[in-house]
Structure 1
């Protein structure tokens, strides 16, 4: 069964550009697992306890999510992530047709 994720990312203070660069790179790995980035939006400064970036990602199934999370190239980028991502929240969501 397919799934859709809403991924919210908070940047470490002063590391918004690093977070964006990391996400630029790591999101290119989605296609390997049959996933696709539907939307990606960024808050100008990520302040006021708001996420710096929000992504909507479609995946074919749980196995694809697991494979993406365990992708060796993604895991190799973990040190970059640790210095720029302060917090991540992931919600499973559903697409809603506009009225």
Structure 2
């Protein structure tokens, strides 16, 4: 069963470069796990991003989350001090 998430990231100004480096490293992995970045929005100063991401299944999402190439980049996310909110969503 397909799943969709809304991700909201609030990034301190000093963490924007690290957050972008993390995203540049991990977003290209999505297709390998039947994932798709449906929409990516960013405010003018880069301190807030919203992503709509879908996966073909919960298993695909978990496999993406656990992929060693993604987990190897988590230090960049942590260094950015971004606060993330991930919410499962449904089409209406």
Q: TM-score, normalised by structure 2?
A: 0.89
Shift of 1:46: 5.3
Whole-angstrom distance in 1 between the partners of 2:41 and 2:31: 19
Unaligned runs of 5+ in 2: none
Larger Rg: 1
In 2, the alpha carbon distance for the partners of 1:71 and 1:85 equals 22
The match for 1:91 among 84, 87, 90 is 87
Q: Which of 77, 81, 89 is the matching residue for 2:77?
A: 81
Matched, 1:42 2:42: yes
Normalized per residue, which structure has more helix? 2
TM-score by length of structure 1 reads 0.83
> Structure 1 segments of 4 or more deviating over 2 A?
none
Q: Confirm or deny: 8 A CA contact 1:5 1:57 kept in the other structure.
A: yes
- Work out whether 1:20 is the aligned partner of 2:20: yes
